[in-house]
Each structure stands twice: as structure tokens, then as C-alpha cells.
Amino acid sequence: MKVYKTNELRNIVLIGGAKSGKTTLSESMLFECGLINRRGAIEDRNTVSDYREIELERENSVSSTVLYGEYKGHKINIIDAPGFDDFIGEVVAALNVADTAVMVVNGQNGVEVGTEINWRQAKALNSPVVFLVNHLEHEKSSFEETLRQLNTQFGSNVVPIQYPLNEGHGFNAIIDVLQQKMLKYPEGGGKAEVLDIPADHKDKAEEMLNTLIEAAAESDETLMESFFENGTLTADELKKGLKLGIISRGLFPVLCVAAKPNYGVDAFLDFVVNYTAAPDEMPGRKTTEDKLLTCNSSDPTSALIFKTSVEEHLGEISFFKVYAGEVTEAMDLVNGVNNSKERISQMFAVAGKKREKLEKVSAGDIAAAIKLKNVRTNHTLNSPRNSGDIIESIKFPAPKITMAVKAKSTADDEKLGAALVELQKVDPTITIEYSKELKQIIMRGQGELHLNIAKWHIENIEKIMIEYYAPKIPYRETITKSAKSMYRHKKQSGGAGQFGEVHMLIQPYTEGMTPQTEFPIRGTETHDLAWGGKLVFNNCIVGGSIDARFMPAILKGIMEKIEEGPLTGSYARDIVVNIYDGKMHPVDSNELAFKLAGRNAFKEAFKNAGPKILEPIYDVEVMVPGDRMGDIMTDLQGRRAIIMGMDSEGNYQIVKAKVPLAEMNRYSTTLSSITSGSGTYSLKFAEYAMVPGDVQTALLKAYEEQEKDDE
């Protein structure tokens, strides 16, 4: 492949809802670019984009696929992104490196849930968007209705560039407003015959062109002046205005295709080449030090790893976009994140399983490298001249669903750990941690489907059978009043024995509280607990009843019991412990005796100090269509939610609530069911709060039963 200059590159991502036809569209685009000589079909399981075993089995995309085509002297990098919200991380990564988002809309269904979800992501990243209405060959398609919905949902600056002449069965012609021509396609698709617009459509096409010219003029002051002076724009001015309008998100063009029969795809590719931005025409990307990288090939090299995958026979593949300089084969680069040195031994342009070797990649281009040693998604590779630069990371969405996972066979525990680490490398939206507190492996993802695909991968690729189950809730234990206790540990078994006696007063800790005055405080240690809250340890011993050298042992015993709370085995927090008396034995007292005495005295005092269980409360924001508000409010109230307020965004309502984590298990599935997939939500830890009495009683009973089973 030739080395393409930055201005000869176009980077686009195909986004949109499931079944909008993105993969079929990419197949026709590759055919028009000459990369393939026969178009595959999803039902035949032979498309370039969906080639992974799970995608062939499901007949839809679960991961983004990087593709490329060469068209009229340009290289078009295409990322085919999955349509289900569970794989939104793939969309986010692709939007970060693409210069234009192509929103594919099913002309039969109009604006769908996936359209709105992907629009929000593109808007958040300030990505230029071009709408492409697909499936116009179907009887139920309606371009006019789809356009009306696009204008209603996304604003009046959604402007048609084309419209179908005869959509539905027999569709084969498009009116191109820019060219003021009709594009008529032969049966089987391919290149259009360019004809004059039929007489009965000339007025409509001219009116649409005038609207387009006005919209283009608004993108630039100079163009606006020219428009006012001349009443129109020249072809070059119109091209400039459209491109500027798209880049600034002041204009969202609408084009139309029928991807399956390959009608309109050539015209769409022409539009991509002529009217969408080259990488160096975009605003640029910043480093963490606020340095702006503008895809200049003469600058020192900086490239961002935006995707990692593992392929059979090749191993780990790192996909990168060059934001500055050039990358050449055998080039030595430095990882700005971990300072490791990496050599680009092999570099490819990738289209699914097809790979073409590259010797050099210019700024703005996308490529893949293999056999990198210590590189992960979101790492930056630099030339030695700017080795410390770190390109701003892709911010992946926070997890929405949490499950505990374990191997069905304990013999696979070690293998499962390794498999989960590898899974996290290729999918940053999955997080894995072993919770020492819960004694569970916790797996978080974007939804139930997301985790089910991960399960399929582990069981079918790694050959480890696993099961998901509800994670335990990280409760906390605390006290509500003061209590005293005494515990004597005495053990005699021949020779030296063990003896230690501890008297303590415990109190609830609150910020800014006044210390107790019943006993003089000789020394204070305040410990910020790793799991939140504090432990204040006061030495109130007078007269040497307990030697100072035993105080650390008493504290150690208390800390052990705080890590395994007396009520349910959960972490305890926010407690003041005052050690005010005790006894020693000149021979039998030692650190172990006082550790055990401190531990048991704390346990006794805790049970008499009005113990309470605290539960994690999360701030939850639910975004739903207005007509679903009632159902959502009812469901949230059934989850012990406290509604904090409501807001609106477009046609959506946002409910803000505080909800106990214990009530959020599988909420993503419930929300999807209630809203037919149109609702989304986010959650963020807020605080710990006391559980209601009936919930505490149930938790204590469950813990007692568990303790009996463990005996």
C-alpha cells in the first residue's frame, strides 16, 4: 500500500442502533473500494467485519472492527461499531479516534433507542455527525418520516443532502441535491448513472439546495458575507461551508443508501472524501500537559493505543492512531505511561482478518502493530524526543452491572484469574477485582448481555466453565451509643501461661465530637480506615495497670475484630475506643494475651453499644422517555429509593435518586424491560446509611444461619 499523506486520509466510525445495517454497509463500502470482489452477507456469515466466532453465532457485532478502503486517491479508515448499548465502550473508543461519526439509521424504523444513545456519546465527545438513512429498499421505509424524526430529536440543523426518488420495492434512484442530478443504479448495485433530475422534482431539489447553501454560509463569516453579497455561494464556497459546518457540529447532513443491494454507497464514499474532515482539519487532541497534537507529520511522533484484541495465530494486536509525526517499521518508541521501550517490528492496515503490511504511517492514520511488549489501551507511544508525552485517555463509561464470578471447578481457579486479566486487557469496560472483604471475585460491566458475552468467551475460548451469582453487599457496622466492657484472658497449660485483662469504653465517632471526660486521655491515635470511617484509640491508663508496651497488641486485637465486625462479619467503622483499666501478670502477660483480651472486650462492648448495620447508598440518574416516568418512579420507590429531583434533556426525563446498592441488582435488565431498551442509567457511590430495622433483622438472621452452616 502507498503511504497516504494526512490530507488524503479520512477516519470514520459507523454508529447507530442494532439492525441499522452498519456491517452490511461496511461490506458494500469495501466492495466499492476494491478491497473485496464479492460482498458477503450477515446471514451467510461471511462478512469482513463480523468474523469472530461469537459474532457469527449471534449474527450481530459485539466488538468494533477496524477496516480500510482506498477510494479515489484517499485511504478511508472505517470502524464498524456494535449497536447494542452493552458494548458502548467500543463506540466510545472509536469516536475518540474517528474524525467523523456516520450515524446509520434504519429507514423502516426511524430514530431508535440506539440512535439516541449513540447521539449522546457523539455529542459528549463533540464529534461531527453525518446521518445515513439505510434500508430504503424495504416497503415500510419512509425517508420523509425519518427526516422529520431526526429534526425533532436533533434539531433543525439536520439537513438533507440527498433524498430517495422511489423508496420501497423497486428503489433504485437518489436525487443528489449538491450535484442537482439524479443517481440511478443498475440492478445489483454499483456505480450510478448520472441523469438530469425529473422535471417534477426540480423545484424541490432547488429549494433544498438553497436551504443547504444558507446553512453552509452560516458556518463562516466570510462565506456569510459572500452569500449576502451574491445571494448564493460558488461550488468551492459551498464545499468549504459544508465541511466547516460538519466539523463545528453546526450542520448534520443526511444522505441515503440501500446498503444490501449497494445503492448510494458510491455517492456516500464521494461525500466522505469531498466533504468530511481530514485529520489535520480537526481541532486536535491534547496531552495531559495541555500540549495540542494537530496531526502534523513533521512533529515528534505520538500515537494513542485505542483498542487491543487477541487474534488466533497472531496473538495480541494493538490498534493505534498517529496524532503527531510518523511511525515506520522497525521504529523504536517509548511508552509515555510506563517508560518501556517498544519496537514496531510489524505494522498493518487491517480489515477484519485481512492485513496489509505497512512500512510507514503518516500523522492522522490508523494502523495495527503486533508483538508489542508492555502496551495497553490508552497508552501513548512516543519518539525518544518527547518520550514523556501522554495523550489524554479515552474515558470509558462507568460499569452498570456487578456480578460475582467463580469457576465451577476449584481446579480452574488459577486459570480463571489469568483469563480475567486477559479479558480486561481487550475490554476496558469490564473491571475485575478480588474483594478481600466479600471474599468474591467481582466482575463489572455495561449490562447483562455484556457479561454473558464475556462468559461465552471464557467458556468457549479459554475452556473454563464459570458461573455468575449475586455479589455480597459491602455492609458496614457501627455503634449508636457508649458501652463499657471487661475481658480477662487467662490460660494455664503447664509452664508459662497467658494472662491479660482489658477494660474499655467505646463510643460512636462523629466529626468534631467532644472527647469523653470520664477518664483522662494520655495518648490518642486516629486511624483512617481503608474501607472508610475512622477508629480513634485512646490510652486512658493511669497508674500502670497495663504496661504501655502492651497497648499496640490491644489495638491489633481491636483492628482484627473491626475487620470482621461482630454483627455480620462486615467491616466496622466510626468508633472511639478508650482503654481505661486492666491487669497484668508479672510472668504470664504477653502481647498475644492482650491482643486476645482487647479483641474480645471490643466484641462484648460493641454488642451493647446499640450496634447498627450501614448499607452503601448510591446516587442514581435514570434517563427515560417522558411516557415511561410513572413506571420508573414506581419501580424506584419499590427499591427503597429517595427521589432527589428531576430534570429534562430533549425528549427525555432524568430522575435523580438515592438508592441502596442492595436494591440495584440486575437493575439494567429491569430498566431495559420497562423502557423497551430506551432507558439508560448511571450510578455513583454517595454514602453509607443505616439500614431499616426489618432489613437489619433479616441480615442478622442470615448471618447466624451462615455461621451455623460453616461450623
Strand pairing of 575-583 and 498-508?
A: antiparallel
Predicted local confidence at residue 51, as pLDDT:
87
Q: Which fold has domain 613-695?
A: Alpha-Beta Plaits (3.30.70)
Tens-place pLDDT, residues 30-56: 999 999 999 998 888 899 998 888 888
- 92, 163, 424, 427, 452 from 87: Cα distances, Å: 9, 31, 14, 9, 12
Predicted local confidence at residue 315, as pLDDT:
85
Taking the C-alpha atoms of residue 428 and residue 433, their distance in angstroms, rounded to an integer, is: 13
Strand pairing of 100-106 and 9-15?
A: parallel
Indicate if the pLDDT at residue 145 is higher than 90.
Answer: yes
Predicted local confidence at residue 496, as pLDDT:
74
Contact indicator for 391, 290 with CB cutoff of 8 Å: no
Domain with CATH 3.40.50.300 in the chain: 6-214+250-281
Predicted local confidence at residue 552, as pLDDT:
97
Predicted local confidence at residue 709, as pLDDT:
65
The number of beta carbons lying within 10 Å of the beta carbon of residue 567 is 18
Indicate if the pLDDT at residue 494 is higher than 80.
Answer: no
Strand pairing of 129-134 and 252-256?
A: parallel
Indicate if the pLDDT at residue 83 is higher than 60.
Answer: yes
Work out the pLDDT band at 171, boundaries 50, 70, 90: very high
Give the contacts of 460 (CB within 8 A, at least 6 positions apart): 53, 54
Indicate if the pLDDT at residue 382 is higher than 90.
Answer: yes
Q: Which fold has domain 477-595?
A: Ribosomal Protein S5; domain 2 (3.30.230)
Work out the pLDDT band at 285, boundaries 50, 70, 90: very high
Indicate if the pLDDT at residue 227 is higher than 80.
Answer: yes
Work out the pLDDT band at 436, boundaries 50, 70, 90: confident
Work out the pLDDT band at 665, boundaries 50, 70, 90: confident
- The domain at 285-386 falls in which architecture? Beta Barrel (2.40)
Indicate the angle between helix axes 199-217 and 235-247, nearest 10 degrees: 60
- Which of 162-171, 594-603, 650-659 has the least mean pLDDT? 650-659
Indicate if the pLDDT at residue 710 is higher than 70.
Answer: no
Work out the pLDDT band at 634, boundaries 50, 70, 90: very high
Tens-place pLDDT, residues 566-581: 899 899 999 999 999 9
- 62, 431, 665, 675, 681 from 670: Cα distances, Å: 21, 22, 9, 9, 11
Domain with CATH 3.30.230.10 in the chain: 477-595
Averaged pLDDT of the chain = 93
Taking the C-alpha atoms of residue 528 and residue 532, their distance in angstroms, rounded to an integer, is: 7
Q: If you average pLDDT over residues 687-696, what whole number do you get? A: 94
Helical ranges in 358-464 per DSSP H: 413-426, 448-460
Domain with CATH 3.30.70.870 in the chain: 401-469
Q: If you average pLDDT over residues 225-245, what whole number do you get? A: 93
Predicted local confidence at residue 275, as pLDDT:
96
Residues in the chain: 711
Contact indicator for 562, 529 with CB cutoff of 8 Å: yes
Q: Dig out the grid coordinates for 510 from the structure.
A: 462523629
- The domain at 401-469 falls in which architecture? 2-Layer Sandwich (3.30)
Taking the C-alpha atoms of residue 612 and residue 628, their distance in angstroms, rounded to an integer, is: 37
- The domain at 6-214+250-281 falls in which architecture? 3-Layer(aba) Sandwich (3.40)
Work out the pLDDT band at 217, boundaries 50, 70, 90: very high
Contact indicator for 137, 34 with CB cutoff of 8 Å: no
Taking the C-alpha atoms of residue 364 and residue 320, their distance in angstroms, rounded to an integer, is: 10
**Is residue 339 left, alpha or beta, with left meaning phi > 0 and alpha meaning psi from -120 to 50?**
left
Q: Which three-class secondary structure state does DSSP give residue 492? A: coil
Predicted local confidence at residue 626, as pLDDT:
84
Predicted local confidence at residue 296, as pLDDT:
96
Taking the C-alpha atoms of residue 122 and residue 118, their distance in angstroms, rounded to an integer, is: 6
Phi and psi dihedrals of 354, rounded to 5? -80, 130
Contact indicator for 597, 550 with CB cutoff of 8 Å: no
What per-residue string of b and e applies to 99-121 under the rule 16 or more CB within 10 Å gives b?
A: bbbbbbbbbbbbbbbbbbbbbbb
Give the contacts of 493 (CB within 8 A, at least 6 positions apart): none
Indicate if the pLDDT at residue 435 is higher than 60.
Answer: yes
Of all residues in the chain, the percent with pLDDT exceeding 90 is: 83
Q: If you average pLDDT over residues 147-159, what whole number do you get? A: 94
Phi and psi dihedrals of 87, rounded to 5? -110, 30
The number of beta carbons lying within 10 Å of the beta carbon of residue 659 is 23
Domain with CATH 2.40.30.10 in the chain: 285-386
Predicted local confidence at residue 711, as pLDDT:
54
Predicted local confidence at residue 628, as pLDDT:
87
Tens-place pLDDT, residues 455-493: 999 999 999 999 999 999 999 999 999 999 999 999 877
Predicted local confidence at residue 215, as pLDDT:
92
Q: If you average pLDDT over residues 693-700, what whole number do you get? A: 92
Q: If you average pLDDT over residues 332-337, what whole number do you get? A: 96
Indicate if the pLDDT at residue 318 is higher than 60.
Answer: yes
Compute the radius of gyration of the chain from its Cα atoms: 32
Predicted local confidence at residue 367, as pLDDT:
97
Work out the pLDDT band at 188, boundaries 50, 70, 90: confident
Indicate if the pLDDT at residue 183 is higher than 60.
Answer: yes
